[in-house]
Amino acid sequence: MALLKLRYYPDPVLKQKAKKITMIDSSVRKLAQDMLDTMYDSDGVGLAAPQIGVSKRLMVIDVAGEEDAPKPIIFINPEIIESEGESELVGQEGCLSFPDVFFEVKRARRVVVRFQDLRGKTLKLAAEGNLLCRAIQHEIDHLDGELFIDKATSKLKADLELTKHGFMEGDVEQMEEALALQAPAPVAEAVAPL
């Protein structure tokens, strides 16, 4: 078990588009296992290679509950080939590259992703209206150099969370006052960081 060093915002690797993996060999298999170990150790449900400083199109996800047996999925060169219900699925998201930061993000309700597994076999997986659907979109965003902070339903709420946790400068009290003036929104349950 090798734990890898997580990269935190504003590390530049998080904004770079990851490179396609052309050969699936023992180094890719070891990286995938180390990423799973790191994700589990950090209590996450997803991790993309850029989050550990590797600019490769590799991500791992396991949305099994704490009391269930692990069900990891390793995605090599994933791409979303179908997307439905754009911006219909709203819910709390967190990110291992932004510890303790959570806010609402809009995602597609249903996606179909094409990817390769560790044997190089091309597979398709559909996910709809669940944590797996959200995690796939979140991690593919990482591979494309996009971050969940850019997809927040409320920029003010996202900025407040980022400021509270030291990721940006600002006046927390002033932001909270501005937020209080806005109409209250229903509170969604937080999920594990992706």
The tens digit of pLDDT for each residue in 23-36 reads 999 999 999 999 99
Which strand (E) or helix (H) includes residue 180?
helix 172-181
The tens digit of pLDDT for each residue in 100-155 reads 999 999 999 999 999 999 999 999 999 999 999 999 999 999 999 999 999 999 99
DSSP 3-state percent helix, strand, coil across the chain (nearest 5): 30, 25, 40
Q: What's the token pair of residue 38? A: 């790191």
pLDDT at 189: 55
pLDDT at 1: 73
Number of neighbours of residue 175 by Cβ within 10 angstroms: 18
Alpha-carbon distances, residue 122 vs 74, 95, 157, 166, 169 (angstroms): 12, 27, 39, 41, 44
What number is the average pLDDT over the span 178-190?
Answer: 68
**pLDDT of 22 above 80:** yes
pLDDT at 85: 84
Q: Tell me which of 139, 146, 161, 177 is the catalytic residue.
A: 139
Amino acid code (one letter) for 30: K
More confident residue, 161 or 1: 161
**pLDDT of 185 above 60:** no
Number of neighbours of residue 21 by Cβ within 10 angstroms: 18
Using N-to-C axis directions, what is the helix angle for 155-164 and 172-181, rounded to 10°?
150
Q: State how far the Cα of 19 lies from the Cα of 171, in Å rounded to an integer.
A: 38
The tens digit of pLDDT for each residue in 4-18 reads 999 999 999 999 999
pLDDT > 90 in the chain, percent: 86
pLDDT at 193: 74
Alpha-carbon distances, residue 105 vs 101, 132, 175, 191 (angstroms): 12, 15, 19, 12
Q: Where are the domains of the chain?
A: 12-152
Q: State how far the Cα of 186 lies from the Cα of 70, in Å rounded to an integer.
A: 32
* Residue 139 known to be catalytic: yes
The tens digit of pLDDT for each residue in 46-99 reads 999 999 999 999 999 999 988 999 999 999 999 999 999 866 778 999 999 999
The torsion of the CA quartet 28, 32, 35, 36, rounded to 10 degrees, works out to -170
Q: Which fold has domain 12-152?
A: Peptide Deformylase (3.90.45)
H-state helical runs in 11-53? 26-41
The pTM assigned to this predicted structure is 0.91
Band (194; pLDDT cuts 50, 70, 90): confident
Counting beta carbons within 10 angstroms of the beta carbon of residue 121, is it exposed (0 to 12), middle (13 to 18) or buried (19 or more)?
A: exposed
Question: Nearest Cα to 131, choosing from 189, 55, 51?
Answer: 189
Q: State how far the Cα of 51 lies from the Cα of 194, in Å rounded to an integer.
A: 10
User: Do 17 and 8 touch, CB atoms closer than 8 A?
Assistant: no
